[in-house]
Amino acid sequence: MKPFLAGIAGPSCSGKTELAFWLAHRTGAPILNLDHYYRDLHGLPFEERAKANFDEPAALDHEEILRDARILAEGGSVAAPRYDYSIHARVEGEQVIEASPVIILEGLFALYWPGLRDLLQLKIYVDAPDSLCLERRLRRDVQERGRTPESVRTQYAATVRPMAQLHILPTRDYADLVVNGAEALDNSGPQVLARMPQPA
């Protein structure tokens, strides 16, 4: 039997990662974080890296994403890249995703590319108010990525919000299930879990 692939998409800080971990804990499924497939910008000075638009699909290596997703869909294993958001570059130490009955693919553009959507047995979109996404993004980027509140707000207004409106919000239409990222996971999680194969 081929693996069951579930994709989780949605705007930045809508609650995708938390939902993925909640599901993984209950199903034993590994998580392929698509946001680690950002193109490597090691060759650019840090100042130039920081100015890049990370919120458009072209910022990610979608061919590499599709290659690895196809391998997983066929029951193979992949060595996924790791990305350090604080330096805007890939780092050593690949994450091996082993073959599994259920695999979760999570990221901004999980429902964006038709070739990727075709591999998913369950397409999930996590929706959340823009104000909540910004509040969460501020907290995360300041605490975990060493950013200043001002730089977070500037980036959010310049690229995060407009690119979400252009590229990510429309992918809601492809979802089999839309969940509310503002709800507690104990409310939204079971809605998704009910649509996934249960461990024996």
Q: Which two tokens stand for residue 32?
A: 């392929």
Helix or strand or coil: residue 106? Answer: strand
- C-beta atoms surrounding 77 within 10 Å: 14
Round to whole Å and give the CA distance between 35 and 109: 8
Q: Where are the domains of the chain?
A: 4-193
Q: Are 187 and 16 in contact (CB under 8 A)?
A: no
49-to-81, 85, 141 alpha-carbon distances in Å: 18, 10, 16
Write down the pLDDT at residue 45. 86
Write down the pLDDT at residue 121. 98
Closest-CA residue to 15 (of 150, 129, 170): 129
pLDDT digits (tens, 9 = 90+) for 5-21: 999 999 999 999 999 99
Round to whole Å and give the CA distance between 151 and 32: 28
Round to whole Å and give the CA distance between 191 and 186: 9
Angular region, 96: left φ>0, alpha ψ -120 to 50, beta rest: beta
Give me the phi and psi of 115, to 5 degrees please.
-60, -35
Round to whole Å and give the CA distance between 177 and 126: 9
Architecture per CATH, domain 4-193, reads as 3-Layer(aba) Sandwich (3.40)
pLDDT digits (tens, 9 = 90+) for 124-134: 999 999 999 99
Bigger pLDDT: 146 or 142? 142
Upper half-sphere CA count for residue 95 (Cβ side, 13 Å):
16
pLDDT digits (tens, 9 = 90+) for 177-189: 999 999 999 999 9
- The angle at the Cα of 13, spanning 9 to 14, to the nearest 5 degrees, equals 55
pLDDT digits (tens, 9 = 90+) for 43-56: 888 888 878 889 99
- Give pTM, 2 decimals: 0.92
